[in-house]
Structure 1
């Protein structure tokens, strides 16, 4: 079997960070300190249950000595009655202990899950986009599932196994000190094999989890872009990519399987050896008169009894490695640095200004090159240009989604990155062609933007985006459950719901990035006219390929190669006969010269 060693850093480039072992220990310690009282009670009950179970071998040894005449004159029936009572007590205490442990595990996991969700929702969008959805989805699904199993079952089982093992060894020494010396035979093999495994397990499981994240990302991208892949004949390319990811995952799985295949047999041999050694050693001691047959019986039974907790300890210790790896990935979310440092400054106005803005998704590869732009409050700006020119990136900087690498974007003289996120969203909101309908009623979906809004407010917002008729056609109107598992809404209506949220949020500046791309041209035109009436007096930055948006705007910015190549009104740019005039001619079908003459005649 291959023993291929994973790379020193199994985390894919650009992936979200993974917590260090020290950070994991600190977070685990913090959690258990918060639940110290419940943990102490659970451990105490487990100790009592284990102690009750330890009476069995000791009493059986006394019975043997009584029968052979080496012990006291205690009656066997009395010892048997005491043994039966201990078994009953152990069963009752075990039930209570297990319940306490499960309750503790549920509470700890609930806190972990809530903390994780809070941290995920606080992640800078720029960080999420660079990392990709695969890594984040893997952490919110596979890692959370693995962590759930660890917290709920592995941790309690390991604690119980450790307590039971220690108490059993202590009882064996008490029952027959000399005979118990045989128990040390398996210790060296168990210690060496466990250290060998633990030194390699973390890297192996991190490699495995990172491979799962890569597969998730590849599958998600393939499913989301299925039509594009089919149209461009990229099926074979995606299949090859998937095969490569599967080979990586197989290599990672093979590595961890190798570790288990070495450790498990070694551990099993380590806790079987003491039984044989104690029996042989005890037989010699008994024959030499250094121990009684009852002592040998008790210690051997303790060695047999200790097999179960040690076996569970070994099994759950492997599960703990998986859980700790997932825990490191979950805790690692907290290590994502913020992309802004709010200062509490309050904007003095509502004008937007970008000054010498540069931005790069990859270090050293700017996609914006010194862009400067001023927008007066209430102005309508359309940004047009070829795909990949930097329009959406500039729009995201103007909305405060990304901080510029160089330069600054201000609102009312205050950099957007100096504003708290809640305050920023009251100033500027970005609407993209991506939208999401959450599970819940239509009212719940809309109220995300304005929790205190009345039904009349919600209906006015829906009417503003031409969605009132579609809403009234729903089975229960605003009370209709939509989203996954609920009433299915079409892509156009889903986008209108997203736009209605913006109307309710009521920002003074709105960045529309292809916001009507999923609507047919007639519906999109109607919707944009409705929005124009609703957004009267607000600053609107519209990024679109449909040039009627530019025709209606106060000014048009033509973005090419990460710079603003032209800036002016529709008529001015058509009259200049430059890049915008060429775009208008190709889209509208009117020669640029004719459009320019018409523009000049209107002046």
Structure 2
């Protein structure tokens, strides 16, 4: 939709709950049983082998106290060395497998998220803004990828080590185990304080990064306008303001995490003191051996490293969790039938377009953009929309193209109501071409085949010939195989528009909507492009959003929009003779071009 037309403040894409994200991970983990099983087994084995030397050290203490032979001590020492070596190997294998499993899940999630975005209704993309979309399939994927390499393997393997060491303390004596478990309430209180506060904080940080991305994109996309109106300072201030907001949230996250670490240290102190006291009492009562009393605090102390690792990577894990919920949330934005790849072939022939009682407004807007619009374009005919900026032309063109759903009224292509179709079905009936034409990096032939993947080179050249582009394409260094777009052959506005029109020819949709599609070509190529537009639309039902009134003159009929209503309809001659709104526009346009 045009930025100049009334719209509500952009919403953001949905964010999944933690439970939904967990369900997604669990479901896809079950689809990789071999990798998942190997990951769990190596992680458990590595943790057990890391704890085993502590128990063997207790055996050494008891052996010395009991006056055991030196050979027993040598045997225990050899076992300790073997446990260390095997534990290192198992831990290394566990880290590799966790990373591999995470990478596989991330690849699936990234593919699903990109697929959902591509299949999302275009109106939804426009509503939320590209900053939010790009931050999810870009920044969030990067954050999650970093977490999979660092934080997630650490948290998982450390969590398993904590569980095994805790079980080991209970194995020594249940009272020693209980003494260590008395630290759990302090840990739980610390987590209970931290988790509910941290997730929203990380979410705010990610949203601030999305807002910063949107500010950057808006300024870069409109750099010409920014320079023309000398708005550089205003956009610089906006980007700076959003960047400071991201920085301030980062500082707040760091301070908050520091307070969490202090609470964790208190829990460790409580547990260690209780274990030493209970161990001393049990030793005095001959309830445990000196080796067992020595092993218990060592086991609890053995928890410090994994708990510390969890704490110091929890920050990254929380960021990864926030990014995971944002990516999983994207998956619920597009129902399955809207995803790309589902194509519908329209029946041959021309289709009339009928707009009846159409009313449309953006969410939370006070006034509708369009009010009770009635239009009819006969099969194979053409209609031009004209009107002042903000009259609703672009919004009406988008609705006729099946982008968005009116609050009242209908748009019918033949006998089909567009509201009953998914976007793939709408694209089979209607092609829309706007002034925001993009040429993708790669061979020119691939760019053209976006509209017709099975088209032959001969069919591509026929389409280019139709829009008058065959001469310059033939003159390219490698013809259709010439690299275009970023890093390739530089194409001016007229050539880019001709490529878009050639795609329109190849697409073969029976209805065509052109929203100021030649506005950026410049006056030098305007006449040439208007001829190309006429050739591309030959035999199709066509709606023009007219940027130049010469294009409106060429249409069978003209409709004048004012404040969201159709105020005049007729041919060019009829409307000029009426002396109304169109006549005023025509007079102003003619005087402007004659001066």
Q: Secondary structure at the match of 1:386?
A: coil
* Residue of structure 2 equivalent to 1:213: 210
Aligned mate of 2:419, from 394, 417, 420 = 417
2: CA distance between counterparts of 1:305 and 1:570? 87
Aligned mate of 1:499, from 491, 498, 501 = 501
1: CA distance between counterparts of 2:392 and 2:90? 67
Gaps of 5+ in 2: 1-8
Q: 1:481-500 to 2 correspondence within 5 Å?
A: 481-500=483-502
The yes-or-no answer on 1:159 pairing with 2:163 is no
* Residue of structure 1 equivalent to 2:447: 445
Cα pair 1:66 1:74 within 8 Å, conserved: no
Q: Secondary structure at the match of 2:433?
A: strand
Cα pair 1:550 1:570 within 8 Å, conserved: yes
Q: 1:347 to 1:20 in 2, by over 3 A?
A: farther
Cα pair 1:43 1:160 within 8 Å, conserved: no
Aligned residues: 581
2: CA distance between counterparts of 1:73 and 1:279? 29
Q: 1:97-496 to 2 correspondence within 5 Å?
A: 97-175=94-172, 179-180=176-177, 182-184=179-181, 186-271=183-268, 274-275=271-272, 278-279=275-276, 282=279, 285-286=282-283, 289-336=286-333, 350-363=351-364, 364-496=366-498
Greater mean deviation of Cα atoms: 153-162 or 267-276: 267-276
* Residue of structure 2 equivalent to 1:595: none
Q: 1:550 to 1:181 in 2, by over 3 A?
A: closer
Cα pair 1:24 1:328 within 8 Å, conserved: yes
Render the CA deviation track for 1:263-307: whole Å, top value 9, x for unaligned: 122223433554455456545654665443322332233223222
The yes-or-no answer on 1:44 pairing with 2:41 is yes
Q: Secondary structure at the match of 2:14?
A: coil
1: CA distance between counterparts of 2:336 and 2:481? 38
Q: Secondary structure at the match of 1:365?
A: coil
Greater mean deviation of Cα atoms: 231-240 or 109-118: 231-240
Q: Secondary structure at the match of 1:126?
A: helix
2: CA distance between counterparts of 1:126 and 1:344? 23
2: CA distance between counterparts of 1:495 and 1:96? 55
1: CA distance between counterparts of 2:223 and 2:424? 36
Q: Secondary structure at the match of 2:369?
A: strand
- Shift of residue 175, structure 1, vs aligned partner: 3.9
Q: 1:108 to 1:152 in 2, by over 3 A?
A: farther
1: CA distance between counterparts of 2:99 and 2:539? 58
Cα pair 1:344 1:420 within 8 Å, conserved: no
1: CA distance between counterparts of 2:346 and 2:477? 47
The yes-or-no answer on 1:35 pairing with 2:32 is yes
Greater mean deviation of Cα atoms: 213-222 or 470-479: 470-479
Q: Secondary structure at the match of 1:437?
A: coil
Cα pair 1:57 1:299 within 8 Å, conserved: no
Cα pair 1:566 1:573 within 8 Å, conserved: yes
1: CA distance between counterparts of 2:268 and 2:566? 74
Q: 1:145 to 1:273 in 2, by over 3 A?
A: same
- Shift of residue 79, structure 1, vs aligned partner: 1.2
- Shift of residue 530, structure 1, vs aligned partner: 2.7
Cα pair 1:348 1:413 within 8 Å, conserved: no
The yes-or-no answer on 1:59 pairing with 2:61 is no
CA RMSD of aligned residues (A): 2.9
2: CA distance between counterparts of 1:217 and 1:79? 63
TM-score by length of 1: 0.89
Q: Secondary structure at the match of 1:381?
A: strand
Aligned mate of 1:92, from 84, 89, 104 = 89
Q: 1:337 to 1:60 in 2, by over 3 A?
A: closer
Greater mean deviation of Cα atoms: 193-202 or 328-337: 328-337
Cα pair 1:399 1:511 within 8 Å, conserved: yes
Q: Secondary structure at the match of 2:362?
A: strand
2: CA distance between counterparts of 1:297 and 1:303? 11
Gaps of 5+ in 1: 1-11, 593-603
Q: Secondary structure at the match of 2:120?
A: coil
- Shift of residue 591, structure 1, vs aligned partner: 12
Q: Secondary structure at the match of 2:193?
A: helix
Render the CA deviation track for 1:196-231: whole Å, top value 9, x for unaligned: 001111111111111111111112112222332333
- Shift of residue 337, structure 1, vs aligned partner: 6.7
Q: Secondary structure at the match of 1:266?
A: helix
Structure number with the bigger relative contact order (C-alpha 8 A, sep ≥ 6) is 2
Cα pair 1:61 1:295 within 8 Å, conserved: yes
* Residue of structure 1 equivalent to 2:4: none
* Residue of structure 2 equivalent to 1:564: 566
2: CA distance between counterparts of 1:591 and 1:444? 39
Q: 1:386 to 1:59 in 2, by over 3 A?
A: same
- Shift of residue 37, structure 1, vs aligned partner: 4.1
Q: 1:465 to 1:73 in 2, by over 3 A?
A: same
Q: Secondary structure at the match of 1:518?
A: helix
Greater mean deviation of Cα atoms: 228-237 or 334-343: 334-343
Render the CA deviation track for 1:303-354: whole Å, top value 9, x for unaligned: 2322222222223333232222222221222343769999999899611000
Cα pair 1:584 1:590 within 8 Å, conserved: no
Render the CA deviation track for 1:437-477: whole Å, top value 9, x for unaligned: 22322111111110110011111222222322332343322
* Residue of structure 1 equivalent to 2:6: none
1: CA distance between counterparts of 2:350 and 2:480? 36
Q: Secondary structure at the match of 2:394?
A: helix
TM-score by length of 2: 0.90
* Residue of structure 1 equivalent to 2:519: 517
